[in-house]
Amino acid sequence: MDLDSKGKGIPFKFYAAYYPPVYTKFKANNITELIRGIANVDKFSIFYHVFHPMLSSHVVPEDLPNDFAFWLRESLHDEYLAEVVADVEGGEPLQIEDIRKEIIELLNTSTTEKVADYPFVFISCQPIIYPLNIEARTLAEFIDAIGRVPARSLFYHFVYRRVMGESKRNEFTLWLEENFGLIDLGEKLSTIDPQSYTDEEKFRTDLLNLFEEELLR
């Protein structure tokens, strides 16, 4: 593969996003109330509690990569249910409503009536999306950009757009396939589960390693 090729000439325009928290009216003191809250909050709240830890690696334990699992262990002291909910996947083709449904199904297996030490406070968010004024027209420019754009940009294109239903797949895969016909590389990207990361820089490193393995050999 010629790294200086422009393929079909479609540029990849990098954006990034912040996810400022917005408090909702929902709180939960036990499993029943947690299920009710998860069923009723908006999709931005589910997104926030499941995925924001990927951008908050300094405050999130590696074994509990979402807020629901953390609360189940730390406040309700249900180690088993916390581990089960921690294993919820977020890879393609799952979208946020699939993830909401799975978490509710897992919680419904519990019969505990314990009251938590402190409530789970549901937070939603209002994404603020902004352009980075960085474009990649060749594979070389793309790899260079992946190495230097903010982690929030990688997260926006690889996770947010897809799980929120704004893109059918992660946008890196779409561009590599549509512009260069790199089907195998696109498929390998699509197998990455963002829920397996609580360190955004480890995620960037794995992306770069994959590009180097596939494009520089």
Give pLDDT tens digits for 39-98: 999 999 999 999 987 777 556 677 788 999 999 999 999 999 999 999 999 999 999 999
pLDDT at res. 58: 56
The residue among 32, 183, 193 whose CA lies nearest residue 114 is: 32
Rounded CA separation 96/205 (Å) = 25
Domain locations along the chain: 12-17+128-216, 22-124
pLDDT band at 99 (very low <50, low <70, confident <90, very high): very high
8-state DSSP, 165: T
pLDDT at res. 59: 60
pLDDT band at 217 (very low <50, low <70, confident <90, very high): confident
* Burial class of 71 by CB neighbour count within 10 A (0 to 12, 13 to 18, 19+): buried
Rounded CA separation 39/45 (Å) = 11
* Burial class of 90 by CB neighbour count within 10 A (0 to 12, 13 to 18, 19+): buried
Rounded CA separation 73/86 (Å) = 10
Angle between helices 79-86 and 96-107 (to 10 degrees): 160
Give pLDDT tens digits for 165-190: 999 999 999 999 999 999 999 999 99
Could you give the maximum distance between any two Cα atoms of the chain, in Å?
61
20 pLDDT more than 70: yes
The residue among 195, 25, 203, 209 whose CA lies nearest residue 94 is: 195
6 pLDDT more than 80: yes
Give pLDDT tens digits for 140-174: 999 999 999 999 999 999 999 999 999 999 999 99
pLDDT at res. 208: 96
